[in-house]
Structure 1
């Protein structure tokens, strides 16, 4: 099967920037207390006995996977970029990282208790997001939770440079109401949402940031 053009472009771009991306964003969470608060709330849900593993989808160099691990979560990472996976494995050899795509995860039905997609859907065309959320629903165990971070807006931007490299990559800003509708259609129940203004490190290139916590209902 021919790979989608956006998946190919995303893989090539992040293979190109992997090492510098990891260095530049290594400590980014330190200055983002609201972001850390959402991760901490998610981690509290996932620390209960029997909660299961958490898949950090689009994990990049593994910093969020490692942050969750430090919070007591049994987390592993999945990323489209083999070079990002290599960087993550080198930086955090005690954790598991795998190559994979959010549109077709190599995970069994109900295999994980939680999923984190931390800005990892921002390169996915909005028309493909229902497929991504349906796949997340499939791999979540009943009662499992999703933590999603994304950029708020309604536009597509094309980046030709990033992290000191030439690249070609589309970035999508999506309205929260549309994401909520996609989650609902996929069978995921929205439990909480946080929308914050851009901080100093994000201005003026970025806008508001959204964090959604959703749950797969228990089977009846």
Structure 2
């Protein structure tokens, strides 16, 4: 990770416009067809949440804006990305787990299982400060139509939320929300990411 001069990047205008905005976050909603994830997960014995996180990482790694993030009053460029998941820990609370993204699904799955198990037992967060982290929160036991994340003014990371998927006759649908900082990307970048996410799910 390294600080870059905003005026020397494609985010120069957005940096000037949105860094001091009282509410710089934008939220998109999209219904995804996750039939493929459900099918592959059952056949291979892989967790739905893990496969969602991997597909998110695959899609994000194809959009260059994901590798830059406003941090404080600076613009930081990263070489790697990670996907965060929320873990129910042994104290009955939740902890945060950053999983380094890799194109290798076998490696990502092994990291996911190892780190989430470790965090559930220790109740200590696992943070990767050298990667641009995409936050996620899967509320798989609840039926929700959408959620808008909180803007703390501290964390500007993109964030995805979803609830329980819904089975139909021909497909399994999942409503997701995607929140992003306008300095990091524009609506077109976010929409492209969501389209890429659907494509990655379809070819899983």
User: Given the two structures, how large is their TM-score scaled by the length of structure 2?
Assistant: 0.32
Which structure has the higher relative contact order (CA within 8 Å, separation 6+)? 2
User: Given the two structures, how large is their TM-score scaled by the length of structure 1?
Assistant: 0.31
